[in-house]
Homo-oligomer: A and B are copies of this chain.
């Protein structure tokens, strides 16, 4: 037997409040979980600043990643047609589900915005870089790391697995909506993933849902939409992240032309300079960021000092929504003018957040939810089949534009 297929003597389990247990059978999965890069996810909160408003949302990307893996496990058992997948593809699927978020940095959103690093790219780098433990584990079989990266990158080579890992209906979303609902204590995200999985069907390497599952999917789409606006985009969370964004921006500005050697932020600066410096990137976690910000509370740079104090002592930026009809434009201008040009860059932050109930993808139809009608032949996209989705798709994206600003 090839080593990649080696199983643990006894299923290894992790208690999980959502699924009872996360079940690990393959040795390679167990090894990946134990790797340094994966363990680092324990130290990065799933929802960044959201715990400033939903205080129990303290769960980490580690628990979500295990959850996405288990959801993949469940999909392999419950979705009709998945039994035809060969064992290698099953392992690729499980690994991709497990590792899809491994490139997340601390407070990702703010990080990516300012530094121009996407967590997906970092995930790919961590999987492919020969210096990581993960890459070493995956080297057990030639091509494995590449295949996993390809699925996560969504490059069209493994359409079925790609749609399971990242699409409109994927194991990632199923887990995080359920999990974030559980840990925030909100009702929005409680989706009926089991019914959706049971209504799915794989045929000719394509994922369909039977029409019996359409209402469960409608409910899921609406849930997701509400989670975005009620939880993920909550002004308190976004205010907190805006301060962080300004801190990052200030550091970038201060260090642009200078060669600064601050030991406390060297890993951060290294990442800034070269985002392929994986060794440095991996050093970064929530505690690292909190740590250097704490020290900046005594910084001589007035702006950094101010921002750091706001962040640590939870003096949040105030928030004003930019009304669509422009009726509060003057008020917003007035606020803006309280700041000089330099201050505006750090203390007056515009933040737009958008979500749609259902967006048809533009490039390809890989993301579309395909409904298989009872005749077992006709296929419609869900926004053709469901009046509700059709009506809501027309709404397009809903965008909330807000200004977060330092309130004296």
List chain A positions with a Cβ less than 8 A from chain B: 10, 13-18, 20-21, 34, 36, 39, 42-43, 51, 54-56, 58-60, 62-63, 66, 80, 182-188, 190-192, 194-195, 198, 215-216, 218-219, 222-223, 225-226, 229-230, 286-288, 290-291, 313-314, 357, 387-388, 391-392, 394-395, 398
Residue contact B62 to A42, C-beta cutoff 8 Å: no
Residues of B with C-beta under 8 A to A66 = 55
Report the bound CA distance from A226 to B220 in whole Å: 11
Residue contact B188 to A54, C-beta cutoff 8 Å: no
Residue contact A184 to B15, C-beta cutoff 8 Å: yes
Residues of B with C-beta under 8 A to A392 = 388, 391-392
26 example contacts (A-B, Cβ-Cβ < 8 A) are as follows: A13-B198, A15-B184, A17-B183, A17-B185, A18-B185, A20-B185, A20-B194, A36-B313, A42-B55, A43-B290, A187-B219, A188-B219, A190-B190, A215-B229, A216-B230, A219-B226, A222-B222, A225-B388, A286-B287, A287-B287, A287-B290, A287-B291, A357-B388, A391-B391, A391-B394, A391-B395
Residue among B62, B183, B195 making CB contact with A55, cutoff 8 Å: B62
| Chain B, Cβ-Cβ closest to A391 | B391
Report the bound CA distance from A104 to B17 in whole Å: 27
Residue contact A219 to B223, C-beta cutoff 8 Å: yes
Known: A21-B194, A222-B222. 18 other contacts (CB 8 A): A13-B198, A14-B55, A15-B56, A15-B185, A16-B185, A21-B198, A34-B314, A42-B55, A43-B290, A58-B58, A58-B60, A187-B195, A188-B215, A188-B219, A218-B226, A225-B388, A387-B395, A388-B395
| Chain B, Cβ-Cβ closest to A290 | B287
Report the bound CA distance from A225 to B39 in whole Å: 31
Report the bound CA distance from A392 to B357 in whole Å: 13
Report the bound CA distance from A62 to B216 in whole Å: 27
Least Cβ distance of A180 to chain B in Å? 11
| Chain B, Cβ-Cβ closest to A295 | B263
Residues of B with C-beta under 8 A to A13 = 198
Residues of B with C-beta under 8 A to A10 = 80
Residues of B with C-beta under 8 A to A54 = 15
Report the bound CA distance from A225 to B59 in whole Å: 26
Contact A222 to B218, CB < 8 A, known contacts A15-B186, A51-B42, A391-B392: yes
Residue contact B219 to A17, C-beta cutoff 8 Å: no
Q: Taking each of A184, A357, A392, which has the highest tally of chain B beta carbons within 10 Å of its own beta carbon?
A: A392
Residues of B with C-beta under 8 A to A42 = 51, 55
Residue contact B391 to A387, C-beta cutoff 8 Å: no
Residue contact B63 to A58, C-beta cutoff 8 Å: yes
Contact A56 to B56, CB < 8 A, known contacts A184-B17, A186-B192, A219-B188: no
Residues of B with C-beta under 8 A to A398 = 387
Report the bound CA distance from A219 to B184 in whole Å: 17
The 8 closest A-B pairs by CB, nearest first: A17-B185, A287-B287, A187-B192, A391-B391, A15-B185, A222-B222, A291-B291, A56-B63
Report the bound CA distance from A51 to B190 in whole Å: 24
Residues of B with C-beta under 8 A to A388 = 222, 225, 357, 392, 395
Residue contact A182 to B219, C-beta cutoff 8 Å: no
Report the bound CA distance from A185 to B194 in whole Å: 12
Report the bound CA distance from A16 to B194 in whole Å: 12
Residues of B with C-beta under 8 A to A230 = 215-216
Residues of B with C-beta under 8 A to A395 = 387-388, 391
Q: Taking each of A80, A194, A287, which has the highest tally of chain B beta carbons within 10 Å of its own beta carbon?
A: A287
Residue contact A55 to B63, C-beta cutoff 8 Å: yes
